[in-house]
Structure 1
Amino acid sequence: MIFKRYLVSIGLTITTVLIAPVQINAVKYEARAILARDVGAIAKKTVVRIESTEGSFGSGVIIGRSERGTKNIYTVLTAAHVVKIPSNNYKIVTPVPLNSPIGRKRVTINLDAQRNIKVIPNVDLAVISFESSYTFAIGTIGNSEYADEGSPVYVAGFPKPGKAITRIAFQFTGGMISSRLDESDSNPQERNNGYDLAYTNITRAGMSGGPVFDAAGRIVAIHGQGDRNNQTPGEETSVGTMTDEKTGFNLGIPIQSFLKYQPQASTIVGARIDKSPLNYQLNDRTFTIGTKNKKFTRKFPIRSEDPPLFDVTKVNEQSYD
């Protein structure tokens, strides 16, 4: 009798183990915020200047790379008004190639407006393709749905020279999303060529077509307009801009507008897409103390009450050759 009870006990135990549900802990991937200077490094490697024969210029960002024989085919995303005159001859001044044998210099590439430029309908966007044997970095496309009010963003491009900065210089500025104009209570008929994101970054004429990066260095919008006191936004090309005073708010087209037009961007143009949410905190901070030959490194864990990695109320502006 005791032996039978023992067998029953074992049987119940085995049955319990067999029917118990298996719990699988799903890993949720999140992009990590990086320092502003690291986003700036991404921008400097991917942002291009677009020039025309009429003397105007704008900006753009490399978003894709594919291969054709021994050549690389690159895709640049910009604002359509930067390349709006088909009769003009346009050229791209690239970032410094990753495999440059000629020193740290940019490359100028002439474009055929009919063959290399395609305007996206119903929105102020255009894609430009160019061919090169050089290797350039490509920007990662993010998810503009996460770019809500208060999110830190960065704008990069090549603005028109001013009184103090008298030459064309790469500029990288910080700010935050101040408004989403595509909320459900807005009238679709009043949409302004797709400019649905407003932000506080400093921008100038010539930065039109440049990218808007999130805190992880992913492209979430294309910059193209500056709000002005006369309630008419001005296109930020380097000629023909309105002289009315800017309000400080600027506008960009969410990157999702491009992905709606080109949902297979990763396959068609070789784009890199990361739609994951953004985690604004790192796992740890590492401090290195000491001399070049003798260092002491210690990691400090970050707790949820720690302050943000950077202060988005301060403008981070840099210029390069």
Structure 2
Amino acid sequence: MIKIRHIFTASMTGFIVSLGSGVDAVPRKLTVEEINSIAKQTTVLIAPKLTKEEVDDLLARKPVKKWTVGSGVIIAKKGKKYYVLTVTHNFSQKHIAEDTDYGIVTSYRDKREVHRITAINDGKECNDDFFRRIKNQRLEAALIRFGCFESQKINGYDLAIVSFESEKNYPVASLGDANQLKEGDKVYISGWPKIEAEPKLKPDGTPQLDSERKIICKDPAPERQRRLAWGKLQASTAVTEQDNGYSLYYTDHTRPGMSGGPVFNSDGKVVGIHGRGSANKLICGQIYQPISNNNSTSKDSLQAENNWQYSSAFEYQNTLAQNQKQNEQNDWQPFPGFESQNDSEKDFNNNQNNSDLLDRDNNSTLKRMYSSAQNVDYSRQLITQVGINLSFKLEAPSKSLIESEIKQVPDIPTSPESGIGKKSEFIDPNEANEGGFEDPYDTIKNIYKLFDFSLKKRIRDEGNIL
């Protein structure tokens, strides 16, 4: 539902001006419409190519098990080259070893361009010491990984930078200071959901199961809409390689496919890279095990985030023993060890302003209850350590950037039961502390044909297959 309502944009967008001499302008909190405008222009979709046979199967609503869809954010530009920050689990070791072509989908004035990325094989094996082997090296490639993803496990940090070249002038996201975030601050997550990785639900909200009690996945669907979700920051923890760099935890309203997407603060600056959903979610393709959400504040408990699913080693042992045999739909449960931090982590964590650095037991609880992201400040340190010299945009988003894609956004339901056999109540997203919506103005009409590179079309507009 989209209601006609006034969209407020300050005459000096991004600032509140106080009357009286000697008082400087201070940043103001942006509206959901303004955050969404920034997100639309800077969030990208990332996926490997599809073969003609895979496209035909998907269009016939047959699942293609190993096709992953992820998100990313444009964080820098050097000449004609753009740099996208994302998560490494969007690039499986198998695809890298096979040198599979990838595509990055950008949006420019309601036109879409697919940037084909080739030669992604960096020749690096996925070992436990992956990051230590690349640290302090000078890396130059279309894809630079700070960790690797193989056999349902991440080694190193779950971050990567992928670059593309274009003559167009794409907006670059502003980077904020994640260490200034405080518990209860609102954060916004943008990304492109992967419908095929979500559970198919009955009218009462419970999952549909097959004869083996495995959760049935949704049917493939070619149309996609970018999602903007938001919630309150619950905790900021120490950055460790053992936890693959995840340290920001927030209310879970994300969906699979949003991994790698930007996490914005209320000023419209990127403070994190999203990559994990809470473990208290149904996981498409796995054996059904009812999970209690009594301790969770999340209202999207039925939206599986199986681009990353963490589960504590002591939870659901019998079910996980069977699920570990499955490598479907990018569902995976890493069980990281808890070792001492390396020197760069210690220096970074000692300088954090947020004092909510929690112990192992609390971290396990956070993973079970909340979505999580990488701290963008530490991401910048990693980029420097591998010799990538980039200039980042640190100033507030410009008025022209914020206003250029301002659109009406849908009202959101007031409860998770909305739309499931009950009368729904909807409210203005700006009045909700948490929630999310799919942007009806940011749509891909046929994602499958888009990644069929045999069509040999890089640029497609809304009047064609997008």
Bucket of the pairwise TM-score, normalised by the shorter protein: 0.5 to 0.7
Answer whether contact 2:157 2:241 (CA < 8 A) is retained. no
The one-letter code matched in structure 1 to 2:377 is: Q
Shift of 1:263: 5.0
Corresponding residue for residue 260 of structure 2: 209
1:105 and 2:116 equivalent? no
Pick from 72, 91, 116: which aligns with 1:60?
72
Structure 2: how far apart are the matches of 1:29 and 1:143? 19
Question: 2:36 — aligned with what?
Answer: 40
In structure 2, C-alpha distance between the alignment counterparts of 1:44 and 1:165, rounded to whole Å: 24
- CA distance, structure 1, for counterparts of residue 220 and residue 235 of structure 2: 30
Q: Determine the structure 1 residue equivalent to 2:338.
A: none
Q: TM-score, normalised by structure 1?
A: 0.67
- Distance verdict in 2 for CA 1:27–1:131, change over 3 Å: farther
Match of 1:109, as an amino acid?
A: R
State the alpha-carbon separation in 1 of the partners of residues 384 and 112 from structure 2.
Answer: 34
What residue in structure 1 maps to residue 245 of structure 2? 194
Residues 216-225 or 49-58, more deviating: 49-58
Partner of 2:279: 228
Structure 1 residues 264 and 89, CA gap change in structure 2 (3 angstroms): same
How many Å separate the matches in 1 of 2:185 and 2:225? Answer: 26
1:141 aligns with 2:153: no
Q: Which protein has the bigger strand share?
A: 1
State the partner residue of 2:269: 218
| Cα distance in structure 1, aligned partners of 2:103 and 2:391 | 19
Q: Which runs of 5+ in 1 are unaligned?
A: 1-24, 183-187, 276-308
For residues 103 and 22 of structure 2, the distance between their equivalents in structure 1, rounded to whole angstroms, comes to 45
Aligned partners of 1:165, 1:315: CA distance in 2, in Å? 25
User: In the TM superposition, what is the alpha-carbon distance from 1:318 to its structure 2 partner?
Assistant: 2.7
Q: Give 1:116's aligned residue.
A: 142
Mapped partners of 1:29, 1:255: distance in 2: 26
Q: What residue in structure 1 maps to residue 92 of structure 2?
A: 84
RMSD (Å) for aligned C-alpha atoms: 3.4
| Residue equivalent to 1:239 | 329
Question: Quick one: which of 411, 417, 438 aligns to 1:318?
Answer: 438
User: Who is 2:370 aligned against?
Assistant: 249
Q: Structure 1 residues 255 and 26 mapped into 2: Cα distance closer, same or farther (>3 Å)?
A: farther
CA distance change for structure 1 residues 189 and 44 in 2, over 3 Å: closer, same or farther?
closer
**Deviation at 1:90?**
3.8
Task: Give the aligned residue type for 2:69.
Answer: F
**Residues 1:225 and 1:95: Cα distance change in structure 2 (over 3 Å):** same
**Structure 2 CA distance for aligned equivalents of residues 219 and 270 of structure 1:** 15
Which residue type is aligned with residue 183 of structure 2? E
Contact persistence 1:154–1:174 (CA under 8 A): yes
SS of the residue corresponding to residue 197 of structure 1 reads: strand
Instruction: Give the direction of change, closer, same or farther, for the CA distance of 1:165–1:272 in structure 2 (3 Å limit).
Output: farther
Q: Helix, strand or coil: the match of 1:40?
A: helix
- In structure 2, relative to structure 1, the CA distance for the partners of 1:249 and 1:174 (3 Å cut) is same
For the Cα contact (< 8 Å) 1:176–1:201, is it kept in 2?
no
Distance 1:274 1:258, change over 3 A: farther
What's the TM-score, normalizing by structure 2?
0.47
CA deviation after TM superposition for structure 1 residue 234, in Å: 5.6
Using a 3 Å threshold, how does the CA distance of structure 1 residues 317 and 28 change in structure 2: closer, same or farther?
same
SS at match of 2:113: coil
**Quick one: distance in 2 between partners of 1:217 and 1:263?**
24
- Between the aligned partners of 2:176 and 2:32, the Cα distance in structure 1 is 17
CA distance in 1 between counterparts of 2:32 and 2:220 reads: 22
CA distance in 2, matches of 1:263, 1:30: 30
Structure 2 residue runs without a partner (length 5+): 1-20, 50-65, 123-140, 148-155, 199-217, 281-288, 292-304, 310-327, 334-366, 397-428, 444-466
1:26 CA drift (Å): 8.5
Cα distance in structure 2, aligned partners of 1:311 and 1:194:
32
User: What secondary structure sits across from 1:129 in the alignment?
Assistant: strand
